[in-house]
Structure 1
Amino acid sequence: MNVMLREKGAKLLTHMTGCRSRVYKLALFFPVVILAMIIVSWTTSEHIGEPEIILSPEIISLIPKGSDDTFVPVLPPTLAAVQAEPSNGSSASLQAADTRAVVPILHSLEGISLDDNTEAVVAKKGYPLTFVQDPHFVEAFTYEYPDMNIGFQDGMVTFVQIPAKVGHVQINDQRISLTMTDVKRLLGEPDYVTEDGIVFQRGEELIKLFVAPETQELIAIDYYDLSST
């Protein structure tokens, strides 16, 4: 009987000791969890309060670019033209530019071609102010406009003449001032010189600058075919 009571007392004591140990563990666990929560909360609030870092343009400009970001600056046209001019041999460059500017073919003066007929001229210029018949050739006549004269034979254009006082002229599709300097710049040096002017020849077509022999003043520019001379 006494043995049984001692065994029951030992079991009860063991059970009470185990419960006390679990209570102690729980008592230690909760403070540790609370402390961890406090630390995490403090750390998070500290980072949230930090200001956002913004790179200024000055800083961004100092950041090196990779190979994919490499770019070539495009110069404005005027600046590019100035930088393209060589410091030495400028005369050679100008001479080359003049060579490229020479007109290889003549096909019109003020939009009138030697292949035009009377109907085409009227469509382009309208009816002339004056119609002049050639006294020696019935088939030859001239349309006189305020800014040009256009000669015909058998209904086809034989010459186009523009007085120097007009001040400008369009050779092919190039409009220039009607001066000897600008015409030479466009057509190059004349093919031959006559008593009354200078001539530029392109195949069978010619342009002649009529010049006053005494004053060398430009009088007119003519466009005509070699066969009409």
Structure 2
Amino acid sequence: MFTIMMMLTGMLSSLSNQDYAPSYAASAPDTTAVYRAAYQAQPQTPTAAYPASSGYETLNGLTLQDRIEKVGRLYGEPSERVPAYMAGEEYRYGGLNVGTYEKWIYYISVPSSAESFNLNGHELPMDGQRIREVLGEPDFTADDGFGYEHDGQALKVFVDPSTGSVRSVDLFDSTSV
């Protein structure tokens, strides 16, 4: 049943015409720079608190309903592919890691080395205090970070417990944890 639902979601998402890849993305070596360049024409840095009702649909242009083919169109070839949780595979790009199972994305992770991330078209710095200012009070906290949940999806900000600096920002299905 799950496989059928995921297939239907993939078919519908391919009809939604939401691929924002610039034509030069597939050949660019620095995927973080490519992603930023795609959105520089329309900067959308938030100045007020991010509305929780907006949810957390896209992280760096990707959703949990996308297939790995979309990542390839946006970011080109991965620098590395490694085994991941649940017999899945993680595709690693310069400033992005994407976990897949049967070619469906089940998590998106932006490491702090990217210096910023894009949440639903809003560029945010890898700064825990600034993220809290924009997204508001977290829905949950843990020893390794804090996060927000909306409509079955979670956005977690992983932090180094000793320094408090952001390690990564991850989007995943909150029901799978």
Q: TM-score, normalised on structure 2?
A: 0.68
Query: Separation in 2 of the partners of 1:124 and 1:166?
Result: 16
- Please tell me whether the aligned partners of residues 56 and 150 of structure 2 are also in contact (alpha carbons under 8 angstroms): yes
RMSD: 1.7
The answer to which structure has the higher helix fraction is 1
Which among 93, 113, 118 is matched to residue 145 of structure 1? 93
Query: Separation in 2 of the partners of 1:210 and 1:166?
Result: 14
Look up the equivalent residue of 1:193 and give its one-letter code.
Answer: T
* Cα shift at 1:98: 4.1
Where in structure 2 are the equivalents of 1:107-186 lying within 5 Å? 107-134=57-84, 137-138=86-87, 140-186=88-134
> Relative contact order, CA 8 A, sep 6+: which one is greater?
2
Structure of higher CA gyration radius: 1
Where in structure 2 are the equivalents of 1:31-50 lying within 5 Å? none
The answer to which structure has the higher strand fraction is 2
Which among 126, 149, 153 is matched to residue 205 of structure 1? 153
Cα deviation 1:74-127 (Å, max 9, x = unaligned): xxxxxxxxxxxxxxxxxxxxxxx845x324211100001101001121112111
- Please tell me whether the aligned partners of residues 158 and 228 of structure 1 are also in contact (alpha carbons under 8 angstroms): no
Query: Separation in 2 of the partners of 1:213 and 1:207?
Result: 18
Write out the 4+ residue segments of structure 1 that deviate beyond 6 Å after TM superposition: none
Percent of matched pairs sharing the same residue: 23
- Please tell me whether the aligned partners of residues 161 and 223 of structure 1 are also in contact (alpha carbons under 8 angstroms): yes
Q: TM-score, normalised on structure 1?
A: 0.53
- Please tell me whether the aligned partners of residues 128 and 165 of structure 2 are also in contact (alpha carbons under 8 angstroms): no
Which among 38, 45, 51 is matched to residue 102 of structure 1? 51
**Structure 1 residue ranges without an equivalent (≥5):** 1-96
- Please tell me whether the aligned partners of residues 95 and 111 of structure 2 are also in contact (alpha carbons under 8 angstroms): yes
